Amino acid sequence: MITGLLRNDLHFTGVVFSDDMQMKAISAEYGLKEAIEKAINAGVDVLLFSGNIPGQPPLNSGDLVQLIMDLIKEGKVSSKSINASYQRIMKLKNMNQ
């Protein structure tokens, strides 16, 4: 949907944000690592984590970065997609300067 419809068909070049990656609709179906993999491969640029889900262990950014690095090393996520997201985020950050 994001890559095919939003980016290719509608020519959207902006930043795509996820919903909370720990919400029940996601966490009930997928483990954290698989959910991150699917979101990145779907074209999401910024992954959101509330970090305050009752019954869930707290997350820290270092753990999340390590999960993404592991996915890249395993060939499940491409560094090219990470770089493309980074470029879109930097373009957005620089719009108001």
pLDDT in tens, 35-85: 999 999 999 999 999 877 777 777 889 999 999 999 999 999 999 999 999
Report the pLDDT value the prediction gives residue 95, as an integer from 0 to 100. 84
- pLDDT tops 80 at residue 11: yes
Report the pLDDT value the prediction gives residue 35, as an integer from 0 to 100. 96
The answer to whether position 87 is within a domain reads: yes
Report the pLDDT value the prediction gives residue 91, as an integer from 0 to 100. 95
51-72 per-residue burial string, b: 16 or more CB within 10 A, e: under 16: eeeeeeeebeeeebeebbeebb
Structural domain including 89 reads 16-93
The answer to whether position 21 is within a domain reads: yes
The answer to whether position 75 is within a domain reads: yes
Number of domains in the chain: 1
The answer to whether position 39 is within a domain reads: yes
The answer to whether position 1 is within a domain reads: no
CB atoms within 10 A of CB 38: 16
Amino acid 82 reads I
The answer to whether position 7 is within a domain reads: no
The answer to whether position 29 is within a domain reads: yes
The pTM for the full model equals 0.89
Report the pLDDT value the prediction gives residue 63, as an integer from 0 to 100. 92
Instruction: Give CB contacts under 8 A, 24+ apart, made by 61-64.
Output: 64/36
